[in-house]
Chain A
Amino acid sequence: MKTTTPSPNAHPLPSLRWLAGISLATLLWLSAYSQLETLADLLLAAQGLSRQTAAGEALHFFFYDTPKVMLLLTGVVFVMGIVQTFFVPERTRALLAGRRLGLGNVLAATLGIVTPFCSCSAVPLFIGFLAAGVPLGVTFSFLIAAPMINEVALVLLFGMFGWKVAALYLSLGLAVAILAGLLIGQLGMEQHLEDWVQPLRNGQRAEFAGATPTWIERCEAGLAHVRSIVGKVWPYILAGIALGAGIHGYVPEAFMASFMGRDVWWAVPAAVLLGVPMYANAAGIIPVVEALIGKGAALGTVLAFMMSVIALSAPEMIILRKVLKPRLIATFAGIVALGILLVGYVFNLVL
């Protein structure tokens, strides 16, 4: 774990304290990250087990993956917390106001990655965007990208599958968000917004008048982000890795291939359908996913499942129902599901 709290009286200047704290934490982080394998071996040896046994293999998986994922997560979430202070929703809205379909969708999906977003704010954000004259299709691009491409998902994919899979997830996720938004925009479904939303459209001006935070405030925001995100997801990650470790050690090789392998054509749609009613964060799912893939499940199938779980959740649909009429909700869900389906098949074909 990264700590950025040096002793309070070490330096009189808070900015110096932050600088020293961050340098020290970075150093500690790097040295810990480079010793992960050694640590796992030591911990395993302390238990008197070897990797030759099923229990040993499972425990080694747990001892290696837990610190690795937690280190990566803490580092990236801290940096993301700082980046997010540059993209408060008000500013993102000002950037998107008056954009046209096309370039606007690309920008919206990209901003969706770095703008802080919580699904409980989905409705105010949605209306706020429309009110400032952001087109419906562009708003949807943002709304799809924001939950689907989050830093926790990317960190876990990177940590467990490497940068290529993380990059593929990022670009395909962006592609789904951009194309789905474009399509919804082209369909011209503005009349399928709830009636009370209609008069609010194109009402407000979109100016950004927030105070610019200082670097210390940005760092504090980063730390707060770590506390709220890592503090919230660590039990899921532990549980996920433990379950993954169990599968890793005990489930026979190629067991999953029979029903989640790439030759099973119905696996991708089944995975998407299965994912919609589930409301989990990426954190708990990916470790399990890694273990499943190790046993022969196809990556595309599993990624489609993951995208579906985090981008198309039943609770979010219920919240959005307050502003969207059923036809628009169905269109939104249908287009995104179709996009995820394509991503799943493409992954299975390419990899």
Chain B
Amino acid sequence: MKNVKVLGTGCANCRNTLALVASVAAEKGVSIALEKIEDLPTIMSYGLLSTPGVVIDGKVVHAGGVPARSKVEAWF
């Protein structure tokens, strides 16, 4: 099971990213532990410069803007 974290302070793009990740994972039948991180110090500890960011199993795979659907599909 993959551990997926969406990092963002709660803007529209962050919510869209969360929904996109959830829907792609469900479509592909991959079970993930999805988590939303809104705490700024925690977000900053991943060292990204723009939000929303996506972290899979502790690795930052995306930062800044809603990722393209094809990009999300490649993660699972």
Among listed A11-19, A103-111, A117-125, A330-338, interface-contacting one: A117-125
Q: Determine whether the beta carbon of B49 is less than 8 Å from that of A93.
A: yes
Quick check: B48 and A319 within 8 Å, CB to CB? no
A121/B49 in contact, CB under 8 A: yes
The docked-state distance in angstroms from the alpha carbon of A217 to that of B33 is 31
List B contacts of A196 (CB < 8 A): 40-41
Contact B51 A120 (CB under 8 A): yes
Residue of B nearest to A199 (CB): B41
In the complex, what's the smallest C-beta–C-beta distance from A279 to chain B, in angstroms? 13
Known A-B contacts A118-B13, A319-B9; A123 and B64 likewise in contact (beta carbons under 8 Å): no
Main secondary structure of the interface of A (DSSP, over half): helix
Cα–Cα distance between A322 and B41 once the two chains are bound (Å): 10
B25 at the interface (CB under 8 A from A): no
B13 pairs with A128, CB closer than 8 A: no
**Binary flags per residue of B2-19, CB closer than 8 Å to A gives 1, else 0:** 000000110101100000
User: Are the CB atoms of B47 and A204 closer together than 8 Å?
Assistant: yes
Chain A minimum-CB-distance residue to B44: A127
Q: Is B50 in contact with chain A by the CB < 8 A criterion?
A: yes
Whether the Cβ atoms of A128 and B51 lie closer than 8 Å is: no
Q: Which residues of B contact A200 (CB under 8 A)?
A: 44
Quick check: A121 and B44 within 8 Å, CB to CB? no
* A116 CB-CB contact with B under 8 Å: yes
- Residues of B with C-beta under 8 A to A323: 40
Interface residues of A in 88-112 (CB under 8 A from B): 88-90, 93
What band does the interface of chain B fall in when counting residues whose beta carbon is under 8 Å from A? 10 to 19
Do A120 and B13 touch (CB < 8 A)?
Answer: yes
A277 vs B8: C-alpha distance when bound (angstroms): 24
B55 to chain A, nearest CB (A): 13
**CA of A350 to CA of B9, assembled, Å:** 43
Are the CB atoms of B40 and A121 closer together than 8 Å? no
Query: Given B41, B47, B49, which contacts A125 in the complex, CB threshold below 8 Å?
Result: B49
Tell me if B47 and A121 are in contact (CB < 8 A). Answer: no
Q: Mark B35-47, 1 if CB is under 8 A from A, else 0.
A: 0000011011001
Q: Please determine whether A121 and B51 come into contact, CB atoms closer than 8 angstroms.
A: yes
B13, B48, B49, B50, most chain A CB atoms within 10 A: B49
Chain A residues, CB < 8 A from B41: 196
For residue A116, which residues in chain B have a CB less than 8 angstroms away from its CB?
Answer: 50, 64-65
Q: Which residues of B contact A93 (CB under 8 A)?
A: 49
Is A128 in contact with B47, judged by CB distance below 8 angstroms? Answer: yes
Contact B49 A123 (CB under 8 A): no
Given contacts A118-B13, A204-B47, 15 further A-B pairs with CB under 8 A are A89-B64, A90-B49, A116-B65, A118-B11, A120-B8, A120-B13, A120-B14, A124-B43, A124-B51, A125-B50, A127-B44, A128-B49, A131-B47, A200-B44, A319-B9
Residues of A whose CB lies within 8 Å of any CB of B are 88-90, 93, 116, 118, 120-121, 123-125, 127-128, 131, 196, 200, 204, 319, 322-323
The 13 sampled A-B contact pairs (Cβ below 8 Å) are A89-B50, A116-B50, A116-B65, A118-B11, A118-B13, A120-B8, A120-B11, A124-B50, A124-B51, A127-B44, A128-B48, A131-B44, A323-B40
Q: List the 8 shortest-distance A-B pairs measured between CB atoms, nearest first.
A: A120-B11, A121-B50, A128-B49, A89-B49, A127-B44, A121-B51, A196-B41, A89-B50
